[in-house]
Amino acid sequence: MEMVIYVALLALLLVALLSAVNLMLRSWSETQAHMSLAHSGALAMERMVREVRNAATIDAAGSAFGTTTGILEVVAPGGAPPPPIVVAGGAGGLFKGRAPAGGPPPPPLGGGGRVLPPPVGGWWGARRPAPPPPTTFFVSGGALDMLQGSAPAAALTDPGVGVQALTFYDITTPNSQAVRILLILVSATTTIPIYATFYDTAVLRNSY
C-alpha cells in the first residue's frame, strides 16, 4: 500500500515538473517571438521610411496602394531617366553645342556626364550616367522583400516571421507627397499566433 502511495506521489511530482518545464519553454518561445517581431518590424519600417524620404518620386504604375498585399516602388533622385544629351558636329561652326566635322571634341559635360568617342562622320555624342534602379517593396512567400535593380531580392523580416498585411496609402497634396505604411506581422513559431502592428508616414523630401 505504501508503495502505491509513493508511486502516485512520484507521478504527481513528475507531472508538475513537466508542466513547469513546458510552461518555461512556451514562455521562452513567446519571448523570442516577440523579440523577432519587434526586430523585423523596426528594421522593415526603418528601411521603407528611409527609402521613401530619400526618393525623388513614387512610381504609381509599379505600386499597389490600398491592398493588404501592397507593392511600393520608389525612384531615387536621378532615377527618372533624363533625355540624352547629344552634341553633334557638322558644318556651320560652333553653336548650341555643335562641333565642326573632324574638329576637336566638345568639352566634357558637367554633372558627371561624359563625352563618347566620335563615330565616322565627325558626330560627337554625350550621355548622362545611367539612372539608378528603382527600389521595390513587396510580399513574397510570406516575407517582406526589397528589390533593387537586378540584385536578388533581400528579405527584411526574420525567418519565422510572416507578413499578415502590408498596405501602402498614397498621400498627395498640392505642396507635398507622402506614403503611409501599415505593416502587420505574425509569428509562425508559436502555438498561438502572435501579431504585431507597425505604422508610419514618410514624406518625400523632394516634394516640398
Is residue 101 a contact partner of residue 121, using CB atoms and an 8 Å limit? yes
| Alpha-carbon distances of 37 from 33, 56, 57, 180, rounded to whole Å | 6, 30, 30, 20
Measure CA 191 to chain center. Answer: 30
Is the pLDDT confidence value at 155 over 50?
A: yes
Q: What is the pLDDT of residues 25-38, one digit of tens each?
A: 676 677 788 899 99
Terminal-to-terminal C-alpha distance of the chain: 87
Beta strands in 12-56 (DSSP E): none
Instruction: Give the pLDDT confidence score for residue 66 in this predicted structure.
Output: 95
Long-range contacts formed by 187-190: CB under 8 A, 24+ apart: 187/33, 187/34, 187/36, 187/37, 187/160, 187/161, 187/162, 188/142, 188/160, 188/161, 188/162, 189/29, 189/32, 189/33, 189/36, 189/160, 190/26, 190/29, 190/30, 190/33
Percentage of the residues of the chain whose pLDDT score is greater than 90: 44
Percentage of the residues of the chain whose pLDDT score is greater than 70: 69
pLDDT band for 47, please (50, 70, 90 cuts).
very high
Q: Is 59 exposed, middle or buried (0-12, 13-18, 19+ CB in 10 A)?
A: middle
Is the pLDDT confidence value at 45 over 90?
A: yes
Instruction: Give the pLDDT confidence score for residue 9 in this predicted structure.
Output: 73
Q: What is the pLDDT of residues 65-99, one digit of tens each?
A: 999 999 999 998 864 444 444 444 444 333 334 44
Task: Give the pLDDT mean for 57-65.
Answer: 93
Instruction: Give the pLDDT confidence score for residue 191 in this predicted structure.
Output: 79
